[in-house]
Amino acid sequence: MTLHFVLEGALVGVAVGSIYALIALGFALLYKSTKILNLAHGEMVLFGGYLAIALTRSLDLPVWMAFALAVAGTLAAAAALGFVVERGIMRPLYGQSLLSVIIVTLALGYIIRGLMVGLWGGDTRQFPPVVPTGVVRFGDLIVPRVGIYSAAVALALLVGFSLFFRYSLVGIAMRAAANEQLTASTLGVSLKRVFAYAWAFAAIAASFGGILLGLWLGVNFALDYVGLKALAAVILGGLDSIPGAILGGFLIGMLENILGAYIDANVTAFGVSLHGFKEITPFVVILLVLLIKPYGLFGTEHIERL
């Protein structure tokens, strides 16, 4: 593995990892606030990508204006979807068994995916030329230009979300409920409102991730697969650690584009090249983390005394 290969893989890994981190942020925020593992989070990514590209192409406006309005409309729709899901589907399930909640989110994901593919088909759809194409060179290193723009936007959003949760009244209430629900409730924090906000913000983060990935890779029904990679990032960082989820997103992106890409290109087993290992790298990480450190790098370790 040459230094050039590692550096180039690291640059691309940071770019795609920033998007994974954004999606993982929503995943971890929702789990930390509500203790719900949302297996429909990947379909929220799909929702954002499909809706944004459909709105962009339907507006008879200059491409930048159409894209900006499409992004605004998509994020508003994502927030509304999060509220509707929380109020109409998840709220009656609070206090039910964990298995029941997980099955409901899994069913919800299949419904969203079916609706998206039914409305817009399964073929890969491309955004109009919103971002300049080509590559950016850092000496001998090459990075897709769209990756640089996507990473910059994702990083800005991560900073914006962090500032919002730290300084806004809604963010402070959400952090209080995430840390200790009973104490926050006795101090006047409405847990029902916090749960609704958590679903809305998680949907916004996932949808924005879908838009950024759509600009880079195009949009098709396999985009929800990225939600599972975000789950790998969350498990690596710790399910109840938002900073850990963000770091996990970057680590997954880098491992995928360094270790996974190297094995794809250079390693054989029983005389057969291991093409496709890059795609399963995040899930190998999930397996190893659960075997070695089940609570992730920064997750809270729960000790039960008998």
What one-character-per-residue DSSP string does 157-197 give?
A: HHHHHHHHHHHSHHHHHHHHHHH-HHHHHHTT--HHHHHHH
> pTM score, two decimals?
0.90
Q: Give yes or no for residue 104 having a pLDDT over 90.
A: yes
Tokens, residue 220 = 């098709």
CATH code at 3-292: 1.10.3470
Q: Give yes or no for residue 268 having a pLDDT over 80.
A: no
User: What DSSP designation does 150 have?
Assistant: H
Mean pLDDT, the chain, integer: 85
Average pLDDT over residues 264-292: 76
Q: Give yes or no for residue 270 having a pLDDT over 60.
A: no
Radius of gyration (Cα) for the chain, nearest Å? 20
pLDDT for 166 = 83
CB 223 within 8 A of CB 203: no
Q: CA quadruple 105, 123, 225, 206: dihedral positive or negative?
A: negative
Q: Give yes or no for residue 1 having a pLDDT over 70.
A: no
Please give the residue that has the higher pLDDT: either 67 or 6: 67
pLDDT for 40 = 92
Residue among 63, 109, 83 at smallest CA distance from 196: 83
Average pLDDT over residues 161-189: 81
pLDDT for 208 = 93
Who's near 152: CB < 8 A, 6+ residues apart? none
Strand partners, 300: none
pLDDT for 267 = 67
pLDDT in tens, 117-174: 888 887 888 888 888 778 888 778 888 888 888 888 888 988 888 888 888 888 888 8
Q: Worst-scoring range by mean pLDDT, 171-175, 193-197, 251-255? A: 171-175
Alpha-carbon distance of 203 to 92, in angstroms, equals 19
pLDDT for 221 = 83
Alpha helices in 59-190 (DSSP H): 63-85, 98-120, 145-167, 169-179, 181-186
pLDDT for 269 = 59
The structural domains of the chain, with segments of one domain joined by +, span 3-292
Average pLDDT over residues 18-26: 91
Please give the residue that has the higher pLDDT: either 262 or 41: 41
pLDDT in tens, 223-238: 888 888 888 899 888 8
Alpha-carbon distance of 181 to 61, in angstroms, equals 47
Residue among 99, 134, 108 at smallest CA distance from 43: 108
Q: Give yes or no for residue 78 having a pLDDT over 90.
A: yes
